[in-house]
Amino acid sequence: MEEIAIVNMIIGISLFLIFNIAAFVSVFEHEKKAALRFFVISWLLLALFTFSYFIEFNLSIIISGTLLIVTIHFFALIIIPYKGKFPELNDMPFIQHDERDTMFSRKELKPDSDRYNKYYSENPDKKKPDDKFRTKPGLLSPKAPIYDPVIFASSEASFYTVAAFKDFVDGEINSVKTNIDNKSISNYIKNWGKKLGAIDLGFTTLKSYHIYSVKGRGEKYGNSIINNHKYAIAFTVEMDKFNVDTAPDAPEVFESAQQYLRAGTVAVQIAKFIRELGYSAKAHIDGNYDLICPLVARDAGLGEIGRMGLLMTPKLGPRVRIAVITTDIPLVTGIRKIDHSLLHFCKICKKCAESCPGKAIPFENRQNIDGTHRWKINSESCYTYWCTVGTDCGKCIKVCPYAHPDNLLHNIVRKGIKNNLIFRHLALHLDNFFYGKNPVKNKFPKWMKIKYD
């Protein structure tokens, strides 16, 4: 009996420590609500086990036995594979998209210009929603309700700098070609890319549906896009969690712009490196895309396209920015393995749709759109919200359960989500309980708080 009581105490102290560690991790992550809840649960558990030590033996066994069974089942759900069966729905596009239809192209149309008149005479259905966003203050506008002169100017500076790379995305190719083994150069690019700041890199063969049919931005507006490269290198860079958690406030757009610049720098550098080896290469970076980066990144094995229409990576969810390099240097490409666990989690989750202030994210399952099963956001509503607040919002990224930091605590949960269909449902409830269904936004980081005279 005495031995069983001691075992009870050991179980109690172990659970107390586990919840306390989770609480400290949450404090470190600035997740106040989660920290408080983990602390309270840890002390309640300790109190319960201490109490059970002094009460009638049978009752003590029932309490500790129940908690032990719950704990064992929790970890069993994480470890035991039960992935579920999912129909193989086609998610490969059949058609090329025209870049002129993107919001980034449409926002550049100057009212009453030839380009503007031509576009809306060919696309009259887009005129009304576009007129709506044009009545709003606009992205990074001083008239925006959450305008912050310093943070908006920093963001503008990052966008300006990445835009200045436009003449460096492509260039002269060294006439002396270095013959290279595809395995070793693929490995080199992966490792070097990570040293330059990429979180993950992948290679794929370039498909026609990756590439826009017609250019929608810059001097080449309206030109057909020809890109004969055989391969694409896609990579992600991480967005700072604290800044993203201020969404839709100014530090969020500061972070977006900063990471577009970082991704752009790495892409331009790698493309130049490949050209130095005597192979053609072009960087596709913010404002200078020939292709749809999330699609390329998905086919390169970096994740899946989630409900919010962004690339969902297994370790950081949508909390990344992407850039791509297309090239003819020989690379080792893999075969895409669909991550059904991620798509299934998106199917049951809907947190982004529930918290989207622009009501732009669908609640339904993936739909067959032009023969491709996918989620399609209402980009007009999303962009109108951006123009209303003055930032690129990012609330969907902030609330996504996959966007938690890449650390042991969250990776245990990610492992369970990947492994077990039942755990996916449990993980969603736990995420809502500890972090909130619609988590509150962070205040500005201290160093960003500026006093204005």
Report the candidate in 313, 320, 319, 267 with the shortest Cα–Cα distance to residue 290: 267
How is residue 358 written in tokens?
Answer: 């622009």
Q: Which of 324, 356, 413, 427 binds ligand SF4 (CB under 6 A)?
A: 356
Stretch that binds ligand SF4, among 100-108, 135-143, 169-177, 348-356 (CB under 6 A): 348-356
Q: Which of 138, 287, 357, 405 binds ligand SF4 (CB under 6 A)?
A: 357
d(CA 5, CA 49): 10
Instruction: Quote the least distance from Cβ 414 to ligand SF4, whole Å.
Output: 11
Residue carrying the six token digits 């060919």 = 122
Q: Can residue 352 be called a binding residue for ligand SF4 (CB under 6 A)?
A: yes
Instruction: Quote the least distance from Cβ 157 to ligand SF4, whole Å.
Output: 22
Stretch that binds ligand SF4, among 35-43, 145-153, 225-233, 397-405 (CB under 6 A): 397-405
Q: Which of 402, 423, 434, 435 binds ligand SF4 (CB under 6 A)?
A: 402
Q: At what angle do helices 421-435 and 340-349 cross, to 10 degrees?
A: 50
Q: Which of 250, 257, 322, 346 binds ligand SF4 (CB under 6 A)?
A: 346
Cβ(311)–Cβ(305) below 8 Å: yes
Stretch that binds ligand SF4, among 68-76, 164-172, 178-186, 347-355 (CB under 6 A): 347-355
Residues 303-342 that bind ligand SF4 (CB under 6 A): 306-308, 312, 317
How many residues interact with ligand SF4 (rule CB under 6 A)?
A: 27
d(CA 267, CA 216): 21
Q: Which of 212, 345, 423, 434 binds ligand SF4 (CB under 6 A)?
A: 345
Q: Which is nearer to ligand SF4, 376 or 443 (CB)?
A: 376
Residue carrying the six token digits 């979180």 = 199
Cβ(331)–Cβ(203) below 8 Å: yes
Q: Which of 198, 257, 393, 413 binds ligand SF4 (CB under 6 A)?
A: 393
Residue numbers of the site for ligand SF4 (CB under 6 A)?
A: 306-308, 312, 317, 345-346, 349-352, 356-358, 360-361, 377, 382, 385, 393-396, 399-402
